[in-house]
Amino acid sequence: MKTLKDIGEHNAIAALTANLKAVGDDCAVLPLDDIYDLVLTSDPLIRNVHFTAEATPEQIGHKAVCRVLSDFAAMGAEPQYLLVNVVAPPEQDFQTLEKIYAEFSNLWKTYGAEVVGGDLAQGPTLELHVFGVGRVPKGTALLRSGAKPGDRIYVTGPLGGSQASGKHLSFEPRLEWAKALRESGLVTSMMDISDGLATDLRHILKASGVGSMLDGSLIPCNGTLEQALYDGEDFELLFTAPPDAEFPMFPTFGKAKQAATQLLPSIGKITDRPEELLLDGAPLAGKAFEHFRG
Indicate the pLDDT class of residue 255, thresholds 50, 70 and 90.
Answer: very low
Q: State which H helix or E strand residue 60 sits in.
A: helix 57-75
Please name each of the domains of the chain with its CATH number: 4-137 (3.30.1330.10), 152-283 (3.90.650.10)
Is the model's pLDDT at 253 over the cut of 70?
Answer: no
Half-sphere exposure of 109 (CA within 13 A, CB side): 5
Per-residue model confidence (pLDDT) at position 66: 98
The residue among 198, 279, 267, 190 whose CA lies nearest residue 231 is 198
Q: Please give the angle made by the CA atoms of 194, 294 and 28, to the nearest 5 degrees.
A: 35
Q: Hey, CA dihedral for 194, 39, 12, 5, is it positive or negative?
A: positive
Q: Are the beta carbons of 224 and 243 closer than 8 angstroms?
A: no
Question: What tens digit of pLDDT does each residue of 139-192 get?
Answer: 999 999 999 999 999 999 999 999 999 999 999 999 999 999 999 999 999 999
Rounded CA separation 230/160 (Å): 7
Indicate the pLDDT class of residue 129, thresholds 50, 70 and 90.
Answer: very high
Is the model's pLDDT at 102 over the cut of 60?
Answer: yes
Per-residue model confidence (pLDDT) at position 17: 66
Rounded CA separation 90/216 (Å): 49
Is the model's pLDDT at 90 over the cut of 60?
Answer: yes
What's the one-letter identity of residue 49? V
| Mean of pLDDT values over 103-116 | 96
Q: State which H helix or E strand residue 240 sits in.
A: strand 237-241
3-class SS at 235?
A: coil
Per-residue model confidence (pLDDT) at position 1: 80
Is the model's pLDDT at 37 over the cut of 70?
Answer: yes
| Mean of pLDDT values over 104-130 | 97
Is the model's pLDDT at 107 over the cut of 80?
Answer: yes
The residue among 126, 286, 132 whose CA lies nearest residue 197 is 286
Instruction: Give the Cβ contact number of residue 285 at 10 Å.
Output: 11
The reported pTM is 0.90
Indicate the pLDDT class of residue 287, thresholds 50, 70 and 90.
Answer: low
The residue among 250, 226, 225 whose CA lies nearest residue 237 is 250
Indicate the pLDDT class of residue 3, thresholds 50, 70 and 90.
Answer: confident
